[in-house]
Chain A
Amino acid sequence: GAVVSQHPSWVICKSGTSVKIECRSLDFQATTMFWYRQFPKQSLMLMATSNEGSKATYEQGVEKDKFLINHASLTLSTLTVTSAHPEDSSFYICSAGDWGASGRKGHTDTQYFGPGTRLTVL
């Protein structure tokens, strides 16, 4: 299947600093990527849809000035957590759609996920 990478895999930072997380589609082009957040023992919550060359679409309740998303190319989206606070500590995970690239029946709509980034804000 398609490969999505994330960097860094984990990060520890002080309160008030900004942290940038990169999401890359390695073997396919992704015009759309998604950013999710997951707290321990909970499900994935969609934060925003990242569109190449245009502004991201944020889900209700997600502060766009807090979580800056940039999708500068067909293979890279970045999420910047600005002025991070301890309550921002979470597992952040991105996904990208391999729309039809696999060619296999039933897999034309598959979304592939990055390995995730564990953010700890002290």
Chain B
Amino acid sequence: AQKITQTQPGMFVQEKEAVTLDCTYDTSDPSYGLFWYKQPSSGEMIFLIYQGSYDQQNATEGRYSLNFQKARKSANLVISASQLGDSAMYFCAMRENNQGGKLIFGQGTELSVKP
């Protein structure tokens, strides 16, 4: 079974609007972390935001926020006020604390921001 699922292969958003990228996960480990990374065409993986399973509040980092719904096992990324430079692949990832720190990645969502 997929541990991390991103169901949107591609998304379009108008510049300056907000967009939500979906991510669901599956784990029986009560202690885990959820990450979002951005990968532009250059290939580098840019860390965006982190949410711990015991965090009470949703994580926020500038224009990025993570909509963490633990009961539904979802960790959607919200990008507000989209910019042209936000066009890239976005990956959701999970780290289970009993697995030595390794990350399991979702399939990715390709976001295109239209001017």
Interface, chain A (partner B; CB < 8 A): 1, 32, 34, 38, 42-46, 49, 57, 91, 93, 95, 97, 99, 106-107, 109-113, 115-116, 118
Residues of B within 8 A of A45 (CB): 105
A14 to chain B, nearest CB (A): 23
- A-facing mask of B69-110, CB < 8 A → 1, else 0? 000000000000000000000010001000011111111100
Total interface residues in chain B, CB < 8 Å = 24
**CA A113 to CA B104, docked complex, whole Å:** 14
B43 contacts A91, C-beta separation under 8 Å: yes
- A-facing mask of B49-85, CB < 8 A → 1, else 0? 0111001000100000000000000000000000000
A111 to B, closest residue via Cβ: B103
In this assembly, does B45 line the interface, its C-beta being within 8 Å of a C-beta of chain A?
yes
A44 contacts B35, C-beta separation under 8 Å: no
Select one of A1, A111, A113 contacting B101, CB under 8 A: A111
Interface, chain B (partner A; CB < 8 A): 33, 35, 37, 42-45, 47, 50-52, 55, 59, 91, 95, 100-108
Given A107-B50, A109-B52, A93 and B102 contact (CB-CB distance below 8 Å): no
Q: Give the A-B contact count at a CB cut-off of 8 A.
A: 64
**CA A43 to CA B55, docked complex, whole Å:** 27
Interface majority SS (helix, strand, loop, mixed), chain A: strand
Select one of A49, A93, A107, A109 contacting B45, CB under 8 A: A93
> What are 19 A-B pairs with beta-carbon distances under 8 A?
A42-B108, A43-B105, A44-B45, A45-B105, A46-B103, A49-B101, A95-B103, A99-B101, A109-B33, A109-B52, A109-B95, A110-B35, A111-B35, A111-B95, A112-B47, A113-B47, A116-B43, A116-B44, A118-B43
Residues of A within 8 A of B42 (CB): 115
A46 contacts B104, C-beta separation under 8 Å: yes
Residues of B within 8 A of A115 (CB): 42-44
B61 to A, closest residue via Cβ: A106
B50 contacts A109, C-beta separation under 8 Å: yes
B101 contacts A32, C-beta separation under 8 Å: yes
